[in-house]
A and B are shown apart, each in its own frame.
Chain A
C-alpha cells in the first residue's frame, strides 16, 4: 500500500493553463483600439471644425447666427439668410413628409394584404436608395421647370393672397428645394414608422376593435397614441437628414444670399452655401466664416439627433414599464 501525502497543487505559472490566452488579449486589445478610434474620430471632427471656424467665432461672436449679411468685399458675414433657408426648407419638407410617411406606414402595416405590402414596401425603400445628386439632377432639369410651369402658378391662383406664394414662379427656389427634401425624408420616416407600427401589441388593437371601434378609430386612438414618441423620433431623424442635405439643395435652391419673402424665390441654405463657396474662399475671414456655418450646421444636426435618441430611450423605458 503506497502512502500518499496530500500536496496542494503548485500555483499555476503557465498562463495558458490559467486560462489567459495571448490570442484573447490581442483580440480584445484590437477591438478596444477600434472602439477608441471611433470615439476619437467623432471628437476630432468636432474639434477640427471648431478650430477652423475659430477666427470667425472670435470676430463675430454669437450674433453671427442672427445677422443677415454676406459681403466678401467688406468681410462682413452673418448666417441668418442660410439658417432661414435651412429652417424653412426643412420644416416645409417635414410638414409635408410626416403625414405622408405615417399614412404610407399605416397602409403597409394595417391595410395592405401581405402580397401587396411587400412590393410597395420595396419601392418605398428604393426611393431612399436614389443618390441625392441624382435627385438633384432630376430636380434641376425636370422637376424645377415643372414646378415653375404648373405647380407654382396653380399655388398662386389658389393661395396667392399669402405672401409666401406671391412673386414670379421660378424653377430654382425655396419651394423646389423643399419638395426635393420631402422626397428624401419620406423613405426614412416611413421605414421607422413601419417598424414601430409592427411592434404595437396586437392585443391593444384587438381590444379596441372588440369594443366596436372602426379600424381608423383603433389606429388613431391606440396605435398612433402608443407609437407617438417613436413617430416624434422618426420625424426628428428625418429632420436631421433634411438639415444636412447639401448637394440636392444646392442644385435646386437658386443660391441667392437673401431671405426671400416668397417661397418661389431663390434662397440659400447652410449646406448649400458651404458646398458652393468653401473651396473658393479667398480670404481667411471668408473661409472661417464658412466653417462657422459648418459648425452651426453640425450643432443643429447633433442636437436633433440627440433629442431623437433621448425620445427613443425614454420611449423604450416607458414601454418596458407597461
Chain B
C-alpha cells in the first residue's frame, strides 16, 4: 500500500525508498532492460548467422568443395583454401599443444608459487598481444628473406594458441585432487609417471576443452596469416614449404570485392568456417560436461 510520502522516517522501513510503488516500477524496468539486453544479444547472433546461411547456402554444392578458388572473373570453390586451413591449423596444434601442456605442468607441479605466478602473468600478457602484432613479428623474424610458408603461418597461430591452452590446462591441473598425487607417490610411482599417467588423464576433459576452444579461435584468425601465408596458388596443395591458401584470408579478400560471385563465395566460405567453429564449441561443451562429471565422481 502506498501513500504520498512526506518526510522520510528513518526507522520506518516501508517508507525508505520513497514509496513501494515506485520501487516496484523500477524493479520492473530493470527486469525489462535485462531481458531486452539478452534478447538483443541473441537477436544479433541470429541475424549474423541467418544472413550468412542465407547468402552462402546456395553456393554449397559439391563443386564448391572440390574446385579451388577461381582466377579473375571465373567461378570456383574453396577446396584449396579448405585444405590449406586444415593443414595449417593441424600444424599449429602440433606445435602449441605439447609446449602448452608442459608449461602448465611446470606451473602446477614443479614451480615455486612465485615462479608460477610470474608465469601466469607471462601467459596472460602473451594472450593479450594482438593477433596482428604476432603476424608482424613472425613476418619480421621468419618470412623476410625466406618467403612465406605454411609453417610460418602455423607458427604464428601456435603463438596465439599457446597461452589459451596453457592457462586452461593449468587451471584444471590445480583442481585435480591432491589425494590422487599423494596416493600415487605413496605407492612409489615416480613423480613424472604420476603426472603423465595419473594426473593428466584425470585432467584430460579440461585440457580438451581448452584445446578445442583455442582451435576454434585460431581457425578464424586472419591477421597472422595475412603476413605469412597469403600469396598462394589457386590449386589444392600440400606443400607446406610454401604458402597455402586459407579460409579466413579468402573471406577477407572476397569481402571487399564488387563481384557478386566472389561475395557469394565469401559468404559460403563463412558458412563453412562458422559451421566448423560451432561444431568445435559444442564439442568443448561436451568435454567440459564430461570433466565435471568425472571430477565429481572421483
Contact = CB atoms under 8 A, between A and B. Distances in A.
A–B interface present (Cβ within 8 A) = yes
Interface of A: 21, 23-24, 26-28, 30-35, 37-39, 41-42, 44-45, 48-49, 52, 99-100, 103-104, 106-108, 110-112, 120, 122-127, 129-138, 140-142, 183, 186-187, 190, 211-212, 214-217, 219, 240, 243-247, 251, 271, 274-275, 278-279, 291, 294, 297-298, 301-302, 304-306, 309
A131 B274 contact: yes
Closest 3 CB pairs of A and B: A131-B220, A244-B130, A27-B192
B128 interface: yes
A49 B130 contact: no
Q: Is the interface of A mostly helix, strand, loop or mixed?
A: helix
A52 B48 contact: no
Given A133-B220, A216-B27, 15 more contacts: A24-B192, A32-B110, A42-B122, A42-B126, A48-B140, A107-B38, A111-B34, A122-B285, A123-B45, A123-B46, A129-B278, A134-B52, A183-B44, A247-B222, A309-B121
A100 B38 CA distance: 8
Nearest to B119: A35
A176 B252 CA distance: 17
Nearest to A111: B34
Which among B33, B127, B128 has the greatest number of chain A C-beta atoms within 10 A?
Answer: B128
B63 interface: no
A297 B126 contact: no
Given A23-B192, A302-B128, A100 B40 contact: yes
A103 B39 CA distance: 11
A140 B278 CA distance: 23
Contact of B223 (A35, A37, A127, A246): A246
Contacts of B102: 30-31, 33-35
Contacts of A24: 190-192
Contact of B221 (A49, A111, A131, A212): A131
A99 B251 CA distance: 32
B111 A35 contact: yes
Interface in B235-293: 248, 251-252, 254-256, 263, 266-267, 270, 273-274, 277-278, 280-281, 285
Contacts of A219: 30
B41 interface: yes
Given A103-B33, A104-B41, A134 B23 contact: no
Contacts of A302: 125, 128-129
B13 interface: yes
Interface string B6-44: 000000011011000001101100110111111011101
B124 A279 contact: no
Interface residues of B, number: 92
Contacts of B31: 111, 216
12 contacts: A27-B192, A31-B106, A32-B110, A35-B106, A42-B129, A45-B129, A103-B37, A104-B37, A123-B45, A130-B45, A131-B222, A214-B26
B53 to A, nearest CB: 12
A133 B41 contact: no
Interface of B: 13-14, 16-17, 23-24, 26-27, 30-31, 33-38, 40-42, 44-46, 48-49, 51-52, 55, 98-99, 102-103, 105-107, 109-111, 119, 121-134, 136-137, 139-141, 159, 162-163, 166, 190-193, 195-196, 216, 219-223, 226-227, 248, 251-252, 254-256, 263, 266-267, 270, 273-274, 277-278, 280-281, 285
B136 A49 contact: yes
Contacts of B222: 131-133, 247
A6 to B, nearest CB: 28
Contacts of B38: 103-104, 107-108, 112, 120, 124
B51 A142 contact: yes
Contacts of A45: 129, 133-134, 137, 159
Nearest to B30: A216
Contact of B255 (A27, A133, A187, A291): A133
A141 to B, nearest CB: 6
Contacts of A38: 99, 103, 119, 122-123, 126, 162-163, 166
Given A138-B51, A140-B255, A298 B223 contact: no
Given A131-B220, A247-B223, A301-B128, A21 B45 contact: no
A291 B40 CA distance: 39
B108 to A, nearest CB: 10
Contacts of B36: 103
B223 A297 contact: no
A123 B124 CA distance: 26
A301 B129 CA distance: 7
Nearest to A45: B137
Nearest to A140: B255
A107 B125 contact: no
A112 B34 CA distance: 10
A73 B160 CA distance: 36
